[in-house]
Chain A
Amino acid sequence: MSADLVRPYVITNGRGLPDNDQFNLITLVTTSDQPRPSQLDPEKRSVLDLCSGGLLSVAEIAGHMKLPIGIVKVLLSDLSSDGYLVVRAPVPPAQLVDVSLLQEVLNGLQARFG
Chain B
Amino acid sequence: MGSKLDSADGVYLDDAVQIAAKILVVGHFAVGKTTFIGTMSEIPPLRTEERMTQAGAHIDDLKGVRGKSTTTVAMDFGRITLSNKLVLYLFGTPGQERFVQVWEDMTRGALGALILVDPERLKESFPVIDLVEQYGLPYAISVNHFDETPVRPESELREALDLLPETPVISCDARDQKSSADALIALVRYLQTRTDRSTT
Contacts and interface: CB of A to CB of B under 8 A. Distances in A.
Nearest to A61: B2
A66 B3 CA distance: 12
A12 to B, nearest CB: 11
B164 interface: no
A96 B2 contact: no
A25 to B, nearest CB: 6
Nearest to B180: A113
- What size tier do the contact residues of chain A reach? 35 or more
Contact of A69 (B3, B105, B196): B105
A25 B91 contact: yes
Interface string A42-69: 0100110111111111011111111011
A65 B1 contact: yes
Contact of B109 (A61, A68, A91, A106): A91
Q: Is the interface of B mostly helix, strand, loop or mixed?
A: mixed
A90 to B, nearest CB: 7
Nearest to B14: A55
A112 interface: yes
B170 to A, nearest CB: 13
Interface string B20-55: 111000000000000000000001001111110000
Nearest to B40: A113
B41 to A, nearest CB: 11
Interface stretch (B65-73, B114-122, B153-161): B65-73
Nearest to A55: B13
Contacts of B83: 104, 107-108, 111
B195 A98 contact: yes
Given A46-B3, A56-B11, 10 more contacts: A28-B20, A57-B87, A59-B46, A62-B48, A64-B2, A70-B50, A70-B51, A104-B82, A105-B86, A109-B80
Interface of B: 1-7, 11-15, 17-22, 43, 46-51, 67-70, 72, 75, 77, 79-83, 86-89, 91, 105-106, 108-109, 111, 177-178, 181-182, 184-185, 188-189, 191-192, 195-196, 199
22 contacts: A8-B51, A24-B108, A25-B89, A26-B21, A49-B4, A53-B4, A54-B13, A57-B13, A57-B20, A59-B75, A63-B46, A68-B48, A69-B105, A70-B50, A90-B20, A92-B109, A101-B86, A103-B192, A104-B82, A105-B86, A113-B178, A113-B182
Task: List 10 tightest A-B contacts by C-beta distance, closest first.
Answer: A108-B82, A54-B12, A63-B46, A113-B181, A50-B2, A46-B2, A26-B20, A55-B13, A62-B48, A53-B4
